[in-house]
Amino acid sequence: MKLAATAVAFAYSPEQEVLRSVSLLLGSGQVMFILGANGTGKTTLLECLSGLRAILRGSVMLDSVEIHQLSPPIRARHIGLVPQLHEPVFEFTVEQAVLMGRAPHLGLFGRPGPADFRVVGEAIESVGIAHLSTRPYTKISGGERQLALIARGLAQGARCLLMDEPVAHLDPHHQHEVLSIVRRLADQGFSFAITSHLPNHALLYADWAMFLIDGMSELQGPPATTITEESLRIAYQMDFEIVEGQSGTRAVLPRMLNR
């Protein structure tokens, strides 16, 4: 399964186009990182890719179907959206929260049955939080909640998950845990488009990196060739240096002038 955006443009108001022309291709088993400065429309792009917003120009195709021609439940069975973390209001258990992902498979008056519970159980298992099933979703850590949201996307049946800054607010250990699970799921054939402010994560976990600059998709390709001192300067308007660690991993550092 692949998700392809071609020259997508979007505007909240006619005067200002948030997205001017975004093209990307997300194949199965791929982890794509979408980088870009604050306010360049990364979240909006994810919402357009998941079919939640009517785009101005261009097209978003799921395999050979224009995504806006799919009904919302059908779309939800293919594409999942994992929003930025927020504090939930009610104390649903992890299992109840993940069960919500079954909605596109149930009729208007439907309630989850044994088969749905089984799917949810497997989803929770596959992100490694089975021990938290009955815990209140409000009382688990941010990283665990992020994993629960991934499980919810899997319970939807989505093969393609769009994640909005999944590791913001997480400590390095949990950042690694969440992204390792993302990586493992990708190896099983799931695809991920992830917005991030951390080029290092793109270098570590991604197959593909893309910069969103002024509403345009620019400079995309494999992270090793895309994330360069030059592209980073264009994206963030400051100087960086790229260093190489002993194990061969590369990392981005801001260039400090007065040292």
Partner 1 sequence: MNQSRRYVNWLLLFIPVATFLFALFLGRYGIRVFDTVRVLLGLDGPTDVFRALILRVRLPRVLAAACVGANLAVVGASFQGLFRNPLVDSRILGVSSGAAFGAALALLLTSQGMLIQASAFAFAMVAIGLVMLVGMRFGSSTLVLVIGGILVGALFNSLLGLIKYVADPLSTLPAITYWLLGSLNATQWSDLPPLLSITGLGLSFFMLLRWRLNLLTVSDTEAMAMGIRVRLLRTILVSVGTLMVAASVALAGTIGWIGLVVPHVARAWVGPDHGRLIPASAALGATTLILLDTVARTVLPSEIPLGVLTGLIGVPAFFLLFLRFLRARGEAR
Interacting residues toward partner 1 by CB under 8 A? 47, 50, 52, 71-77, 79-81, 83, 86, 88-93, 96, 99-101, 103-104, 106, 108-112, 152, 156
Judged by beta carbon, residue 1 or residue 106, the one nearer partner 1 is: 106
Query: How far is 248 from 125, CA to CA, in rounded Å?
Result: 33
The minimum distance between CB 119 and partner 1, in angstroms, equals: 14
For residue 94, the minimal CB distance to partner 1 (Å) is 12
For partner 1, the closer CB: 46 or 127: 46
* Pick 71 or 237: Cβ nearer partner 1: 71
In angstroms, what is the minimal distance from the CB of 28 to partner 1? 19
Q: Whose Cβ is closer to partner 1: residue 110's or residue 221's?
A: 110
Contacts 24+ apart (CB under 8 A), 144-150: 144/94, 145/85, 146/82, 146/85, 146/170, 146/174, 146/178, 147/177, 147/178, 147/181, 148/94, 148/97, 148/98, 148/124, 149/82, 149/83, 149/85, 150/82, 150/178, 150/181, 150/182, 150/185
Query: Cβ 149 to partner 1, closest distance in Å?
Result: 9
Minimum CB distance to partner 1 smaller for 65 or for 253: 65
- The least CB distance from residue 89 to partner 1, in Å, is 5
Are 4 and 25 within 8 A, CB to CB?
A: yes
Q: Minimum distance from CB of 67 to partner 1 (Å)?
A: 12
Of 39, 38, 37, 51, residue with least CA distance to 8:
51
Residue with smaller CB distance to partner 1, 113 or 222: 113
Question: Which residues, at least 6 apart from 233, have a Cβ–Cβ distance to it below 8 Å?
Answer: 239, 240
Question: Residue 194 in 3-state DSSP?
Answer: strand
